Amino acid sequence: MLYTKIFELMSNNAHLTIEGLHKIINIKASMNWSISEMLKSEFKNITQVDRPIVITSTLSNPNRLAGFVSGEGCFDIDIDISKSKSTSIGHRVQLRFRIKQHERDLKLMELLKKYLGSWTIYKDPKLPKLELKIVKFSNITKIIIPFFERNLLLGVKQLDYLDWCKVANLISEGSHLTKEGLEQIRIIKSGMNKGRKLTKFLIAW
């Protein structure tokens, strides 16, 4: 809705005037992660516009959540490199499913928590960020994986999810407690998220 306001201003060439540009900056300051420090230094007296309130109490379509996670979610693997007394191999492997949003989207995060029923919402102590995170393995195998088997993710996020599921299977088998299994998990992890080579995927797409 805020994006549409900027579009309307630009359609009327308001961005070509100082006054119109300030209006656009004020709107942008209320969008996404706000504006950069560079813009703040260039434009003084920025006044954020009011964000439209969308009132809803539930997610009517699970594909909406799948689409949202395709853009905003993260499937990753934490391998504790310090020695762990709780495992025979000395390293702990943990799957994590996370979504991060600006703190002003608390209502959205609470809605997601209510929908899946097993979230913890964390507030960043230094930044205006919130994070929904699931790390409990039983919640991952009984809630998260079945959900995304029924509601497919889009794009490269689906590839990360499939690799994530491979690691979940290895953990279920107990392979993460062996040197060979741990090494296999390390290899899978290294090719996920920022480590993924997208050339073949983009050509196929």
Least confident of 55-59, 88-92, 127-131, 133-137: 88-92
| Chain center to CA of 58 | 20
* pLDDT the model gives residue 132: 92
**Claim to verify: residue 84 and residue 145 sit in the same structural domain:** yes
- The pTM of the full predicted model, rounded to 2 decimals, is 0.75
Which structure tokens are listed for 86? 């709780």
Residue 54 inside a domain? The answer is no
Instruction: Give the tens place of pLDDT for each residue, 47-86.
Output: 888 887 777 777 778 888 899 999 999 999 998 755 555 5
Residue owning tokens 């359609």: 11
Higher-confidence residue of 89 and 73: namely: 73
**Claim to verify: residue 9 and residue 93 sit in the same structural domain:** no
* pLDDT the model gives residue 88: 59
Residue owning tokens 């930044």: 127
**Claim to verify: residue 94 and residue 147 sit in the same structural domain:** yes
Residue 192 inside a domain? The answer is yes
Which DSSP state fits 140?
I
CATH number reported for the structural domain that contains residue 188 in this entry: 3.10.28.10
**Claim to verify: residue 90 and residue 156 sit in the same structural domain:** yes
Positive/negative CA dihedral, 59, 65, 68, 73: positive
Rounded Cα distance, 46 and 83, in Å: 50
Rounded Cα distance, 51 and 110, in Å: 18
**Claim to verify: residue 157 and residue 186 sit in the same structural domain:** yes
Instruction: Give the mean model confidence (pLDDT) for residues 179-200.
Output: 85
**Claim to verify: residue 37 and residue 68 sit in the same structural domain:** no
Instruction: Give the mean model confidence (pLDDT) for residues 192-205.
Output: 64
Say if CB 153 and CB 147 are below 8 A apart: no
Instruction: Give the tens place of pLDDT for each residue, 137-170.
Output: 999 999 999 999 999 999 899 999 999 999 999 9
Residue 131 inside a domain? The answer is no
Say if CB 166 and CB 190 are below 8 A apart: no
**Claim to verify: residue 77 and residue 37 sit in the same structural domain:** no
| Chain center to CA of 94 | 17
Q: Domain containing 164: what range?
A: 62-99+136-204
Q: How many domains does the chain have?
A: 2
Rounded Cα distance, 146 and 62, in Å: 12
Cα angle value 181/183/187 (rounded, 5°): 115
Rounded Cα distance, 104 and 62, in Å: 23
Residue 50 inside a domain? The answer is no
**Claim to verify: residue 28 and residue 93 sit in the same structural domain:** no
% of residues, the chain, pLDDT over 70: 91
Rounded Cα distance, 122 and 15, in Å: 38
**Claim to verify: residue 38 and residue 79 sit in the same structural domain:** no
> What are the beta bridge partners of residue 79?
93
**Claim to verify: residue 8 and residue 80 sit in the same structural domain:** no
Residue 48 inside a domain? The answer is no
The b-or-e profile of 31-69 (16+ CB within 10 A means b, else e) is beeebeeeeeeebeebeeeeeeeeeeeeeeeeeebbbeb
Burial class (CB in 10 A: 0-12, 13-18, 19+), 22: middle
pLDDT at 12 over 80: yes
Residue 159 inside a domain? The answer is yes
**Claim to verify: residue 169 and residue 87 sit in the same structural domain:** yes
